[in-house]
A and B are shown apart, each in its own frame.
Chain A
Amino acid sequence: MSWSMSWSMPERAAMTAAAPFLIVGAGQAGATAAAALRSLGHAGRIVLAGDEASLPYERPPLTKAVLADAGMDGRIGIHPAGFHDAQAIELRLGAGVVAIDAARRLARFGDGSELAFGRCLIATGGRARTLPSLPPGTPHVHHVRTLADAQALRAAMAGLRSLCVLGGGFLGLEVAATARAAGLAVSVIEAAPRLLSRAVPPEFSAWLAGRAAAAGVALRLGRSCTSIEPKADGVALALDDGSTLHAPLLVVAIGQTPEVALARDCGLALHPHNGGIRIDAQCRTSAPDIYAAGDCASQVQPLAGEELRLESWQSANEQARIAAAAMLGVPTEAAATPWFWSDQFGCNIQMLGLPGAATTYHLRGEAAIDGTPRFMLLGLDADHCLGYAIAVNAGGDLRPLRALVGQRIPCDPAQLRDVSIPPRQLVRNALSAAASPSLS
């Protein structure tokens, strides 16, 4: 939609003359929102402020390509070189916003300067969760959230023969896979009895554990640390089964904490459990003219029927798009079905939907441990409606299922498992059965 269609000339002039739109946080959500404001026709000033000095970059490669290859550092920009100049997006990088006065619509920067804004988007993301016994800066201990983190870990890995990862979630497993591929001996310690326990069903965890073990990763599942002690040459860990481990390098990958200090200080409502900035479907916070998007934001997910903080690249992009439209008062499509990917142990894993939307899982294809397996695990709810689908090396097969996930259309489990029926045909069959329920 062009702005000449949606706004009258006087409105346009008013918007141009109005105070700038300020975006706090120059990660995936912030950078995407800035671009979306322009592509939706906003002609006024846009200020994109971030704490990191780098131009906005993609975080997914940090645990994969960037960790493996220094040549990637300059190739992960969210936008091409020159984009922000060309789009007249003012960058304030390196000394981000340190305080927001919501009532006066005023932001203060780290260098002491102030900016009066018309509307503000908070996209401050999150930071790696840390252990009290291993604060950031502890020698031989790494976290991965920023490009600088990934570069530091890469440099540290270069001289080592082994490392230990604390946490068997996506981030920890991607680091483990990359380190293993680089020839390091890798152990992963996970307190839960299985990998990715919050994101996938047990049968998928079992397959992934097999895949990781086959790649040579030593998995210590269901084990927590009874003591963690920094040493001169690494970190000494004692596990609750009485075993001990010396890690020359420890990667702490135990999740993320939303970065909400600014939001809290200026009085925005936060979610009592997930800690995120509460936003409505248009990404509006509890304060007028202040919006939020990305990892820091907590929003009702219709598919799950509850308010969640989704830490995902796609959700950051979707919320950024929706927030930008809302800031301009123009209509936009509702958020796409949640989608997430991970690349690890030679497999591309994609998830469509949300784990809370499925209760029983059906395997389509063969979940082989070796080679390049290609399969999907399709999760149905009590009414046989598809709520969550996991694809391994089968993104093309997963894609058509977007028409079903979250659409309350019952599926025949036998058909879902039948690989002789192409995915597009599965969708057609389900849709036509739903249109004539008497035949089902």
Chain B
Amino acid sequence: MAWTRIAAANQLQDDEVMPIALGDTQLALFRSAGEFHVTDNVCTHQYALLSDGYVEDGCVECPLHQARFDLRTGEALCAPATRAIRVYPVRVEDGDVLVDVLVDA
């Protein structure tokens, strides 16, 4: 486990997203219905940052071509994306959002 603090919980409102850079890893931190989610920030279809996208109903829509991903599972829900985005374990502790980024390559 490598829990890393990435934000204060009060930095995001519902249906908001912010980019998180951890070394070379580009992540996106979302808040949806009071819950936090962390995913890869780059769309699996083409290069675009999901942190520039649109968050609604527990999903993020890519700003480039409107591919939609489930924030909990990472599943690609509609074309043009066919591959899931990676999702990471998240927890909130003492008002901080932490992510487990110790992930295999």
Contact = CB atoms under 8 A, between A and B. Distances in A.
Given A341-B64, A395-B66, A399-B63, A32 B54 contact: no
A368 to B, nearest CB: 18
Interface in B38-70: 46, 48, 52-54, 61-66
Dominant secondary structure at the B interface: loop
Given A32-B79, A79-B82, A395-B52, A339 B63 contact: no
A86 to B, nearest CB: 13
B80 interface: yes
A424 B52 CA distance: 14
A58 interface: yes
Nearest to A374: B52
Tell which of B48, B52, B53 has the most Cβ of chain A within 10 Å: B52
A80 B82 contact: yes
A424 B55 CA distance: 11
Nearest to A397: B63
A280 B65 CA distance: 27
A339 B66 contact: yes
B53 A396 contact: yes
A60 B67 CA distance: 14
Contacts of A373: none
A394 B64 CA distance: 8
A274 B38 CA distance: 47
A77 B79 CA distance: 11
A341 B65 contact: yes
Interface string B10-48: 000001000000000000000000000000000000101
Contacts of A317: 79
A399 B54 contact: yes
Contacts of B52: 395-396
A400 B79 CA distance: 19
6 contacts: A32-B79, A78-B79, A79-B82, A348-B64, A399-B54, A400-B54
Interface of A: 32, 58, 60, 65, 77-80, 313, 317, 339, 341, 343, 348, 394-396, 399-400, 424
Given A395-B53, A396-B53, 17 more contacts: A60-B80, A77-B82, A79-B82, A80-B82, A313-B80, A317-B79, A341-B64, A341-B65, A343-B64, A348-B48, A348-B63, A396-B54, A399-B53, A399-B54, A399-B61, A400-B54, A424-B15
